[in-house]
Structure 1
C-alpha cells in the first residue's frame, strides 16, 4: 500500500468549499486500502503554502504527491514541486492543465503527468508503485520517456465511491464539497476549458445520487448541497427521473439544492419539477446578448430563449443567477450594446449577475488556439505578471481586464469596465434588499 498526499496549490481566486475532484481521487485510493491525506492550499499565499507543504511531507512521509493543476495555479504548482525534488517522492500532476498540456509539468519537475479523469489511473499508478512494473500501459499517463494509451472517459459513474468518503482525511471538521450527478457537457463553446470530463455527457443513476444525498444528510447533517454539474439539465429524461427519485424519498424532504446549466438546456416545464424536488437557485450560462457573438462562440442559444428560461425560474420561486462574459475577439461596441440591453431586460428577474466575466483565453480552447500568436499571449500562465490576481474589494474592477489579453482599444476597454461595474451595482442592490428583508 502507498501513502499519497494530494495537494491543491494556491489559486488567485479563492475557493469557498473543498475541491470535489481532489475528494474523488482521495476516495478511490482510500477505498483500495491506501493511506491518503488531502492538503488544500488554494486560499493560502505561496509563501504560506511552501511552509505547509514542507511540514506535511516531513510528518506524513508520502510515497507520492499528486497536485491538481488548473491553468491559474500551474506556475504555483511548479514552484511547489521544486521543493520536493530531492525528497524521493513520486510527483504527479493531474487536472485541467495537464490534460491539455501533459508534457509541460514534466519539464517543470514532475515525474508523471496525467490527462483526463484520474480515478482509474491513480489506482493503476498506486498499484505500480506498490508492486513494481511500468507506467507505460496506464491510459492518459505521460512520463519523461513516453506515454500510455489515450485516456477515455469513465462510463460507470455509479461505480465510483462517494467523494465525501475523503472528507476529514486531514481535518475531522471538513465537510463535503457538494455533489456532481453527471460529467461532461455536450456544448461546444469556443471559450470553455472543460477538458477533464470532456464533451461526452454521462450521468449517474437517480438511485445512486439519492443514496449520496441521504449520506450527506445523515453523516454531515446537510440540508442544502450545490450540484456542480456543468450541464445539469442537458438530458431531459435523466433530469425528470432524478427529480422524481428525490421527491419519492421521504428522508430527503426539505433538502434543497442549486445547479448550473446553459440557458438553452432548460425548458419552463423542467423548472417547476426541479423546484418541487428542492432546487432553490439556478445558475444560467448566457454569456452574450448579441446573436452574432453567440454564433461565433458556438453557444447554441438565442436571447429570446434565455429570457424565457430565466422568467420561468423566477416564476417557480428560484433565485436566479445569470452569467455574462465580455471581451470576445469579434466583439465591438455594437455587440456590447446588445449585451447591455439584454442584461437590463433581465435585471428585474435576475437576483445576481456573475462578478467580473472578462474573457480569459485558456490553453486548449478554440479561442486560445486561434488568437494566441496574433495577440501575443502564448503561454501567459508561466508569466506571473500575466496571471489575473485575486479580486480586490472593488467588485467593479476585473483583474482579467487589466491583463488585456486581446489588446482592447481604450474605448472598448472602458465599455467593458462599465459593464462589469453595472453588474456589481446590481448585485450590491440585491444584497442590500435581501439583508433588509432577511
Structure 2
C-alpha cells in the first residue's frame, strides 16, 4: 500500500526562508513503523520548500491510499489545508492526522480528514494502515482515535502508552532527503555536519503551566544500550557525528543517564551530542560525566528570574539554583544555553525586569547563550485554562486560538499590569540589549585539565 507522510509547514516565516535543522523525531518514528509493512513517501514541506501546486503534483504522482499528516500548533492552518488538498485530488484517499496539536483539537482536524490519532501514534497508525489496506476503513475497533460517524464525533478509548521503548525501531533517516536540511559548521570536525535527533525517553513528571505534553507524566526510558546502538548505527550508515537528545529532562533518571555517559565514553564512537534538562536535575557528577561522554551543549529551560512567577508556572527551583546549575555546567566545560519567557500569567514589570537582569547576569558572568520569547499559549495547557478563566491573564483581542501567532513573539495574552504593547516592547528591548552583550570567554586562562577536573 502507498502511504504519503507529510510534515506541513510555512515555507516562509515573516518573509524569510527558514531551513530546518533536522526532521521532527515523532514524525520520523511514525514514518518508520509504517514503512515496515508499506511503501512510504515522506514529504517535509518546509524543509523542501515546495509550493501547494507542487504538493498537488506529488499527490497525483504517488497516488497514495493513505495520507498521514503531522501538525504542530503554528502549522494548524497549513495542516488543515494539506488534508483538504489531498481530498480534492482524490476524495477516496484516507487522510490521517496525528501529533500533540491534533490530539488536543481533534474536532478541528476532523473537518479536513477521516481520523485523528490521539496520543502516541506508532501502534495506532499501524492498525489504521492495516484497516485501509484491507479496504474496511472502519475505526470502531481501534483504540486511541477520533473520527466522524455521520454528524457524531466518536472518540475511542485511549491506548496505553508504549511501556518498552526499546521495542520501537530506530527512526530510518533513509526515508528523508537530508540534503534539504541544514548543515552546520563544526569546530570539532572542521567542516559542516548534519545534526540528527535521537529520543531516549518519553513522558515528563513535571507540570509546567505553559506545556501541553503528548506523552503524559510517567517517564519511560530506553536502555542506554539501545541509545548507544542507534548512535553507532547512524554513524556507520549516515556518517552522523552530532546528535540532539530530544528529551526535555535528560537527567531525570540519574543512574540511567550516568550509565549512558559511561558507555559513550568507553566505546569507540566518534560522536558529540547536546542535551536539555532542568536546573534542579544536575550536579557536578552529572555534568562531568556528560562532558566525558561527548556532550558539548546543555540547555536549561529557566523561563523566569522571579521566584513568585517560577512557583506560578510550576517550577520548584530557586533563582540561586539556576545560577548554580549554570556555573557547574560551565565549570565542566559545557556550553550552556537557556530559554526565558516573558508574559507569564501574573507577570509584572518588576518580575519581567528580574528575568532580564538574571539573563544579563548569566550572560556576562558565564557567557551563556540564551533565547528570549513571549509566552505561547498551547491548547490543553494550564495557561490556556488560565486565560479562559481570566486567572492572572486575559486573551488579547483577536488572539484566542490564533495559532499563527505561535513562535512569532506576538503577545496573545496580557496581564493586569502589562498589556500587549508593553509585553512586546519588553521583549524587543530585552532582546536588543542582550545581543549587545558579548559572550564572555569563561574559560580564558583555564587549561583543559582545569576544566576536566
TM-score (norm 1): 0.87
For 1:262-277, what aligned pairs fall within 5 Å after superposition? 262-277=278-293
SS in 1 for 2:74: coil
Distance 2:384 2:87 in 1: 32
User: Could you tell me which residue of structure 1 aligns to residue 196 of structure 2?
Assistant: 177
Return the match for 1:309 from 318, 325, 346. Answer: 325
Offset, 1:406? 2.0
Offset, 1:420? 2.4
Q: Is the deviation greater in 235-244 or in 276-285? A: 235-244
Return the match for 1:90 from 90, 94, 97. Answer: 94
Distance 2:40 2:398 in 1: 33
Cα 1:187/1:423, change in 2 over 3 Å? farther
- Residue 28 (1) aligns with residue 44 (2): no
Offset, 1:99? 1.4
- Structure 2 gaps of 5+ residues are 181-193, 444-453
- Residue 37 (1) aligns with residue 41 (2): yes
Distance 1:172 1:68 in 2: 19
Contact in 2 for aligned 1:74/1:381 (Cα 8 Å) = no
Task: Kindly indicate which of the two structures has a greater share of residues assigned to helix.
Answer: 1
RMSD: 2.5
- Structure 1 gaps of 5+ residues are 391-398
Distance 2:412 2:431 in 1: 14
Contact in 2 for aligned 1:141/1:148 (Cα 8 Å) = yes
Offset, 1:323? 1.0
Task: Kindly indicate which of the two structures has a greater share of residues assigned to strand.
Answer: 2
TM-score (norm 2): 0.84
For 1:9-28, what aligned pairs fall within 5 Å after superposition? 9-11=8-10, 14=18, 15-28=20-33
Offset, 1:90? 0.4
Deviations 1:106-147 (A, max 9, x none): 1x2211111111111111111111124431222211111213
Distance 1:186 1:27 in 2: 28
User: Could you tell me which residue of structure 1 aligns to residue 405 of structure 2?
Assistant: 388
Distance 2:356 2:295 in 1: 28
Distance 1:236 1:433 in 2: 27
- Residue 336 (1) aligns with residue 355 (2): no
User: Could you tell me which residue of structure 2 aligns to residue 4 of structure 1?
Assistant: 3
User: Could you tell me which residue of structure 2 aligns to residue 227 of structure 1?
Assistant: 245
Distance 2:297 2:86 in 1: 43
Contact in 1 for aligned 2:143/2:158 (Cα 8 Å) = yes
User: Could you tell me which residue of structure 1 aligns to residue 144 of structure 2?
Assistant: 140
Cα 1:320/1:129, change in 2 over 3 Å? same
Contact in 1 for aligned 2:301/2:339 (Cα 8 Å) = yes
Return the match for 1:122 from 117, 121, 125. Answer: 125
SS in 1 for 2:405: coil
- Residue 238 (1) aligns with residue 275 (2): no
Distance 2:428 2:178 in 1: 43
Distance 1:420 1:331 in 2: 18
Return the match for 1:63 from 62, 65, 80. Answer: 65
Equivalent pairs, count = 410
Contact in 2 for aligned 1:321/1:350 (Cα 8 Å) = no
